[in-house]
Structure 1
């Protein structure tokens, strides 16, 4: 999730239109650079995925058996690109609705010559429901999702009990859901929700947050926040059944 997603998809009265589900994101248009356009034009045919593919056979998709990571809301894609480049023995799938971010990541994949990354540009919930087999993922990453900091919008936060259960089904036993946020109130909600979610175990020894893990790249945004004294909270929960 990125700050390119804004709260405009509110429910409407049934008397006017059919009620729509509350979403944790809304797509917002953005101007594309030449590099991002190249990513879409050249990279998408090679690495792009659509819901129309249906339930994926990940071994066929990547041409091998390997540990699999799904990142939800990769923003401009720099962290995901770094992780995929640093672990060529692993496979990665990214989901992002912000088209310039998708183009940026794909351009980076082309420049780096990577083959272990695939990309969706649609709703992560639909991706999970329609394309990701149960018990197929080793990790799910959710880094700096939109905090929806206004109390009336808290219900849009993606980390809720039903979302935790959906992810649990997609993770292998022993698979890990890794979250990070720079909003303390959201970190507290993540901890509360995940502690109550069945089938998970908090990997923090004290039952709260973990130190910054080496495998999560530090973004420019995060470094700027650290200079301003902002905190960052990481949480890891393991599927135990």
Structure 2
């Protein structure tokens, strides 16, 4: 449920080497979106794109396989006009115009807590949460059109009205599209782990990402994370713990034999095998609002541990 995990069956296949990754990312960043007649949309004057500096930072995704077919195409054609947020772009088709601000009250027709899921994948988590919490509104952020289309299919099938989807690069959504302090929870469940050392720089959850999450969360709001890769889990824990805007809700909890990190080290399934116990802890119990998806089930079958984290906005 990521921006969509490279290991997910519904996600594009990741390129094999760093040079190809760089080439694909550059093509995505420089490709101007098209109007219905195929004409390239003009670059907005005065923006980063106009100055040739758009997306110099590495993005956390490589987009492949965006074509829609069959039921997904039908769902997109018939329902995206009101279920997908129509945001203005300024160059790439996952970009967000820096002057655009999402108005949740206008969009949903009410004032309610807003939950944002970054990397909603095929929509299983957000669909389940919306059904269980009709008093909350949800924004599902994803870059892959097939995932968004399938989410829309499920929204229509379940007659869900408190979810909107948006196709956009998550940091841009957090940096400018959402108003400061307008969100009650941000979810980042199973983002692409980019587990090869040479690709670690592409991980979304890093020191630059934490302030963006803090910006949109209201005081007391919660940043929830989950991953099935121990090295990424440690990175997430370090990022959240080092961020001055956040407090680990479960600081010091689940150490020693109760720690999923200790268990991962003992198994050696995704890290070097070791009997060194985790004495730091800080891991949250499983978030009961997160449904068990087929993706997570595959992680369990592969023997990988699940790491949950929860940070409170100070």
Determine if the TM-score, normalized by the shorter chain, exceeds 0.5: yes
- Aligned mate of 2:311, from 234, 237, 241: 237
Alignment of 1:96-175 (within 5 A): 96-175=142-221
Deviations 1:2-37 (A, max 9, x none): 12364624688xxxx978321111211155342211
Alpha-carbon distance, 1:131 to partner? 1.6
Q: Distance in 2 between matches of 1:84 and 1:151?
A: 37
SS at 2:304 equivalent: coil
- Structure 2: stretches of 5+ with no match in the other structure: 16-20, 27-51, 89-96, 254-280
Aligned residues between the structures:
236
Residue in 2 aligned with 1:65?
Answer: 111
Structure ranking higher on relative contact order (CA contacts 8 Å, 6+ apart): 1
- Counterparts of 2:66 and 2:182, CA distance in 1: 33
Which runs of structure 2 are paired with 1:216-235 in the superposition (5 Å)? 216-235=290-309
**Offset from partner CA, 1:37-58 (integer Å, 9 cap, x none):** 1221112101111332821221
SS at match of 2:222: strand
Measured in 1, the distance between the counterparts of 2:115 and 2:126 equals: 10
2:208 is paired with a residue of what secondary structure?
helix
Cα deviation for residue 229 of structure 1 reads: 2.1
Q: Secondary structure at the match of 2:161?
A: coil
Q: 1:23 aligns with which of 41, 56, 59?
A: 59
Per-residue deviation, 1:224? 2.7
Root mean square deviation, CA, Å: 2.0
CA offsets, 1:61-84, max 9 Å, x none? 111111110001111111111111
Runs (5+) with no aligned partner, structure 1: none
- Quote how far apart the aligned CAs of 1:98 are: 1.1
Name 1:51's counterpart in structure 2. 87
2:139 is the counterpart of 1:93: yes
Deviation digits for residues 88-121 of structure 1 (CA, Å, limit 9, x no counterpart)? 1100001111111011000110111111001111
Do 2:223 and 2:310's aligned partners in 1 also have CA atoms closer than 8 Å? yes
TM-score (ref. length: structure 2)? 0.71
User: Residue 214 of structure 2 contacts residue 245 of structure 2 at CA under 8 Å; is this kept in 1?
Assistant: yes
Name the structure where strand makes up a greater proportion of residues: 1
Compare CA radii of gyration and give the structure with the larger one: 2
TM-score by length of 1: 0.91
Deviates more, 1:218-227 or 1:116-125: 218-227
Q: 2:295 & 2:101 partners in 1: Cα distance?
A: 35
Residue 123 of structure 2 corresponds to 77
